[in-house]
């Protein structure tokens, strides 16, 4: 089998890239290790930057999002019981869209199926070959038979543990990472959100986040120690602990109910440089991980898609394949800005085993930042998403 662009991974970044390329006539095939149902079962983020929303519109998959998504003009931060609202619209001029990543993935799957573009699910033993040459290929096993996909370029959208980044020689890539000493225990329930906007809480008992997926489905998170087990947390224990970390007036409005899903996610920062090698390009979690505190994971992946899509257009439609050499440089500028922002949000909003001096510094940093219009503007600009770089 031959194609122009082989895409490894049918998560939102792989599907979005495939949809955009298909719409401009660039042939592509998506390979995915899991089944479609498994991909849709993964519970992920629900905050979309304005740039991600614009890209979904460009891809022609925004109809359901426009109808079911919810525009948020701000969010609140509680520190030591005092609330500060970050006025996203007033400070940055734009807003965010609350719309679940599962729904984004479902919309993209539907669009790809409707267009008849090729997606091959439940493949095994995916291996990349000759990625530094002009004729790379991907081999895989499907239904017990080994297959070969020849292509011009490979887009690695296969996550942190996928084969794409592993295919780059160790001496040609540098990795930066940081592991945080806690995780997020998340619970999703069919209950009305406690408020119409998101709430971030720095409490002596630990961080908490009140989020949502819709007007009738809530998503809540609690900071828990590294190594904590989800089976130690009954629904009742979760709700009781969340109430302990909420301000009394907010806790009084909390609607509880049986969990649809509970899980613990470790907090991890990671960047691989460069994000390309030969004719292989890394996107999303294959190249970088951010803590979820700043809602950047899916949005960073979308900005990678934006860059690679426009550079592939130049390569194919404008006959400028040399433009693709700019991919890593373009993406990493935005990646490190997002890493900085999520590191800052994580550092200020979570409870660490600080010495007294460091604890006072954290409290002072939060008080100064939330009391400064200039600093709140910086938060707002980063939260709604820095402008996507123009690719001429």
Q: What is the CATH number of the domain that holds 12?
A: 3.50.50.60
pLDDT for position 216 = 93
| Distance from C-alpha of 370 to C-alpha of 39, rounded to nearest angstrom | 39
| Residue located via tokens 């089944």 | 35
Query: How far is 333 from 317, CA to CA, in rounded Å?
Result: 26
- What pLDDT score does 385 carry? 97
In a domain, 122, yes or no: yes
Catalytic residue, from 12, 136, 292, 310: name it. 292
DSSP-assigned beta bridge partners for residue 304: none
User: Among 250, 215, 194, which residue's Cα sits nearest to residue 100?
Assistant: 215
What radius of gyration, in Å, describes the C-alpha atoms of the chain?
21
331 domain residue, yes or no: yes
Task: Evaluate whether residue 252 is within a structural domain.
Answer: no
- For 46, the domain range is 5-76+98-177+268-350
For 170-223, the pLDDT digits (tens) are 999 999 999 999 999 999 999 999 999 999 999 999 999 999 988 999 999 999
β-pairing verdict for 206-212 and 199-203: antiparallel
Phi, psi of 367 (to 5 degrees): -65, -45
> Which pair of tokens denotes residue 284?
């999303």
The pLDDT of residue 46: 86
Residue 369 belongs to a domain: no
- What pLDDT score was predicted for residue 44? 74
- For the segment 108-129, the average pLDDT, to the nearest whole number, is 96
CB 235 within 8 A of CB 258: yes
What is the edge-to-edge ordering of all strands in the sheet holding 137-142?
Answer: 124-129, 137-142, 145-150
Contact 209, 294 (CB under 8 A): no
Task: Give the pLDDT score at 389.
Answer: 82
Block residue for tokens 């970390």: 245
Is residue 63 within 8 Å of 53, Cβ to Cβ?
A: no
Q: Which two tokens stand for residue 119?
A: 């997606």
* pLDDT of 129 over the 90 cut: yes
317 inside domain: yes
Catalytic residue among 203, 296, 310, 350: 296
Active site residue 314: no
The answer to the question of residue 150 being in a domain is yes
Q: Which of 72, 203, 288, 350 is catalytic?
A: 72
Question: Residues 6 or more apart from 358 whose CB is under 8 A from it?
Answer: 352
Active-site choice (180, 306, 327, 383): 383
Tokens matching residue 220: 């809540």
Q: Give me the phi and psi of 260, to 5 degrees please.
A: -85, -30
When divided into structural domains, the chain yields a total of 1
User: Stretch 75-94: mean pLDDT, rounded?
Assistant: 96
| Structure confidence at residue 45 as a pLDDT band (50, 70, 90) | confident
- Catalytic entry in 99, 153, 180, 200: 200
Distance CA 278, CA 286 (A): 16
> Does residue 340 sit within a domain?
yes
Q: Looking at the predicted structure, is the pLDDT value of residue 392 above 80?
A: no
280 neighbors 156 (Cβ within 8 angstroms): yes
Tokens of 32: 């995915």
Respond yes or no: is residue 200 known to be catalytic: yes
Structural tokens at position 362? 């954290």
Quick one: pLDDT band at residue 342, thresholds 50, 70, 90?
very high
Catalytic status, residue 72: yes
Map the chain to HEC letters.
CECCEEEECCCHHHHHHHHHHHHCCCCEEEECCCCHHHHHHCCCCCEECHHHHHHHHHCCCCHHHHHHCEEECEEEEEECCEEEEEEHHHHHCCCEEECCHHHHHHHHHHHHHHHCCEEECCCEEEEEECCCCCCCEEEEEECCEEEEEECCEEEECCCCCCHHHHCCCHHHCEEEEEEEEEEEEEEEECCCCCCCCCEEEEECCEEEEEEECCCCCEEEEEEEECCCCHHHCCHHHHHHHHHHHCCHHHHCCCCCCCEEEEEEEEEEEEEEECCEECCEEECHHHCEECCHHHCCHHHHHHHHHHHHHHHHHHHHCCCCHHHHHHHHHHHHHHHHHHHHHHHHHHHHHCCCCCCHHHHHHHHHHHHHHHHCHHHHHHHHHHHHCCCCCCCC
Q: What is the pTM for the complete model shown?
A: 0.96
Cβ atoms of 95 and 384 within 8 Å: the answer is yes
248 in a domain, yes or no?
no
pLDDT at site 202: 97
């Amino acid at each position: 089998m031959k194609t122009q662009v082989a895409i490894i991974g049918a998560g939102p970044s792989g599907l979005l890239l495939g949809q955009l390329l298909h719409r401009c006539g660039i042939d592509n095939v998506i390979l995915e290790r899991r089944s479609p149902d498994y991909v849709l079962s993964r519970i992920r983020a629900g905050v979309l930057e304005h740039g991600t929303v614009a890209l979904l519109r460009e891809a022609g998959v925004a109809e359901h999002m426009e109808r079911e998504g919810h525009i948020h003009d701000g969010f609140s931060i509680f520190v030591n019981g005092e609330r500060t609202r970050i006025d996203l619209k007033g400070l940055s001029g734009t807003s965010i869209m609350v719309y679940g990543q599962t729904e984004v993935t479902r919309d993209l799957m539907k669009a790809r199926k409707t267009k008849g573009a090729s997606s091959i699910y439940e493949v095994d033993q995916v291996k990349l070959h000759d990625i530094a040459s002009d004729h790379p290929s991907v081999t895989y096993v499907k239904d017990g038979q080994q297959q070969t996909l020849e292509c011009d370029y490979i887009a690695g959208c296969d996550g942190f543990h996928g084969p794409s980044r592993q295919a780059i020689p160790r001496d040609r890539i540098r990795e930066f990472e940081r592991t945080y000493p806690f995780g997020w225990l998340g619970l999703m329930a069919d209950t009305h959100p406690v408020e119409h906007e998101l709430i971030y809480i720095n409490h002596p008992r630990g961080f908490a986040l009140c989020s949502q997926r819709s007007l009738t489905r809530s998503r809540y998170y609690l900071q828990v120690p590294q190594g904590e087990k989800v089976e130690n947390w009954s629904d009742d224990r979760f709700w009781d602990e969340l109430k302990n970390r909420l301000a009394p007036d907010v806790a009084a409005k909390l609607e509880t109910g049986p969990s649809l899903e509970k899980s613990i996610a470790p907090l991890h920062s990671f960047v691989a440089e460069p994000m390309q090698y030969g004719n292989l390009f890394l996107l999303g979690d294959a190249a970088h991980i951010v803590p979820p505190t700043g809602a950047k994971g899916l949005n960073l992946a979308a900005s990678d898609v934006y860059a690679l899509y426009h550079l592939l257009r130049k390569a194919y439609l404008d006959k400028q394949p040399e433009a693709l050499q700019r991919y890593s440089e373009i993406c990493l500028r935005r990646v490190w800005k997002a890493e900085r922002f999520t590191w800052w949000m994580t550092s200020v909003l979570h409870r660490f085993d600080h010495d007294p001096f460091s604890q006072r510094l954290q409290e002072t940093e939060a008080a100064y930042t939330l009391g400064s219009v200039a600093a709140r503007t910086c938060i707002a600009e980063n939260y709604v998403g820095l402008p996507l770089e123009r690719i001429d």
